[in-house]
């Protein structure tokens, strides 16, 4: 039996890879792709989501545009973009599905409240999901689990204290983390355990066709924008597709319960995720990923791409 999911994202090259994985993994049934501002402005992330879904061939999957900025602050701008390839530049040469007219927050609510999907995978700012929760009393009870890529127990990757997805909208993250929904968090601290290697790129390219060549282009583009830091990873983490893979195969991640809060008042720590593994600040509200099976993630990633490239899909298909 496949797991119906909603993928809320901000494509972005790694988000586009996450869409391919979510559409191709044998354990997942991708019900909707919802997008918001983050990696790029909201109109661009929606268009990029529409391109990625067109590559999958899943014309039954609605793609919607959502939040164009955070709940209460000005929108941040991504610092480094690859303007020569993949989805950072505009790509009118690539086919795109038509966008669904519904706002992403409304599409999330409709999917959950109708029973079409109970798992929400997030790989961008949490604005759409926070808006959906605020607008729809009772929505939290319909969500069985959130699998979210974001936050850090150590250093941030946008500021010294804060990780990008959370810093883009800390107030939204605080709403989602405090909603009482079962939450699996994939912080950036574990990203280096599943990196983009030359072998991974070669394996994706060897699949060939629209899916394999597009995936390889996205992977190469991500590597082109990687800038190592003093304490950062030595190579580009795979990042966003890992969230979809962990939603499909929870055994790929080892998690421990912890309390997660978002700093909303600090001058230098605004947007930091304060992760308390010792239970000193309250009961756990999340399962925090502390270890990834890097080899297993690479294998699952390529398997999902191969399956997507080699066969047509039917909604709710069992394998």
pLDDT tens-digit map of 152-199: 999 999 999 999 999 999 999 999 999 999 999 999 999 999 999 999
Q: What average pLDDT does the segment 31-43 reach?
A: 97
Mean residue pLDDT of the chain comes to 95
Q: Using 50, 70 and 90 to split pLDDT, how confident is the model at 312?
A: low
Query: What would the pLDDT profile of 48-59 be if each residue is shown by its tens digit?
Result: 999 999 999 999
Query: What would the pLDDT profile of 86-108 be if each residue is shown by its tens digit?
Result: 999 999 999 999 999 999 999 99
Do 21 and 244 touch, CB atoms closer than 8 A? yes
Residue 314 confidence (pLDDT): 44
Q: Using 50, 70 and 90 to split pLDDT, how confident is the model at 317?
A: very low
Residue 315 has pLDDT above 60, yes or no: no
Do 49 and 35 touch, CB atoms closer than 8 A? yes
Cα distances (Å, whole numbers) of residue 257 to 141, 184, 268, 277, 278? 20, 9, 27, 7, 9
Please report the sign of the dihedral spanned by the C-alpha atoms of residue 219, residue 223, residue 229, residue 234.
Answer: positive
Residue 119 has pLDDT above 50, yes or no: yes
Q: Which of 148, 163, 144 is nearest to 288 (CA)?
A: 148
Residue 319 has pLDDT above 50, yes or no: no
- C-alpha 151/C-alpha 287 separation (Å) is 13
- C-alpha 271/C-alpha 193 separation (Å) is 24
Residue 80 confidence (pLDDT): 81
Structure tokens at 109: 């609510």
- C-alpha 87/C-alpha 41 separation (Å) is 12
Buried b (16+ CB within 10 A) or exposed e, 22-34: bbbbebbbbbbbb
Q: Which helix (H) or strand (E) element contains residue 130?
A: helix 127-135
Token pair 């709940």: residue: 71
- C-alpha 228/C-alpha 144 separation (Å) is 36
Q: Which of 35, 13, 49 is nearest to 196 (CA)?
A: 13
Query: What would the pLDDT profile of 270-292 be if each residue is shown by its tens digit?
Result: 999 999 999 999 999 999 999 99
Q: Reply yes or no: is the peptide bond before residue 12 cis, omega within 30 of 0.
A: yes
Residue 316 confidence (pLDDT): 42
Do 278 and 180 touch, CB atoms closer than 8 A? no
Query: What would the pLDDT profile of 225-279 be if each residue is shown by its tens digit?
Result: 988 877 778 899 999 999 999 999 999 999 999 999 999 999 999 999 999 999 9
């Amino acid at each position: 039996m496949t797991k119906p999911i909603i993928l809320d994202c901000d494509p972005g090259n790694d988000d586009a890879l996450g869409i391919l994985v979510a559409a191709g993994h044998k354990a997942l049934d991708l019900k909707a792709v919802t997008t918001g501002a983050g990696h790029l402005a909201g109109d661009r992330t929606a268009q990029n989501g529409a391109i990625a879904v067109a590559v999958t061939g899943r014309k039954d999957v609605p793609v919607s545009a959502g939040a164009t900025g955070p709940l209460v602050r000005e929108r941040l701008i991504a610092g480094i973009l690859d303007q020569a390839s993949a989805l950072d530049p505009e790509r009118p040469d690539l086919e795109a599905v038509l966008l669904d007219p519904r706002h992403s927050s409304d599409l999330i609510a409709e999917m959950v409240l109708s029973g079409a999907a109970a798992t929400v995978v997030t790989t961008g700012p949490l604005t759409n999901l926070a808006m959906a929760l605020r607008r729809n009393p009772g929505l939290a009870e319909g969500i069985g689990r959130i699998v979210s890529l974001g936050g850090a127990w150590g250093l941030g990757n946008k500021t010294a204290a804060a990780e990008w997805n959370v810093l883009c909208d800390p107030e939204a993250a605080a709403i989602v983390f405090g909603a009482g929904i079962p939450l699996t968090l994939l912080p950036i601290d574990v990203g280096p355990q599943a990196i983009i290697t030359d072998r991974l790129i070669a394996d994706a390219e060897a699949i060939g066709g629209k899916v394999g060549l597009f995936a390889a282009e996205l992977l190469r583009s991500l590597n082109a924008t990687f800038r190592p830091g003093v304490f950062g990873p030595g190579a580009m983490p795979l990042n966003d597709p890992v969230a979809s893979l962990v939603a499909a195969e929870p055994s790929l991640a080892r998690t421990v319960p912890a309390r997660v809060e978002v700093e909303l008042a600090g001058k230098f720590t605004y947007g930091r995720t304060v992760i308390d593994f010792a239970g000193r600040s309250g009961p756990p509200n999340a399962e925090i990923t502390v270890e990834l099976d890097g080899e297993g993630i690479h294998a699952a990633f390529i398997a999902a791409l191969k399956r997507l490239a080699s066969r047509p899909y039917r909604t709710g298909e069992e394998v």
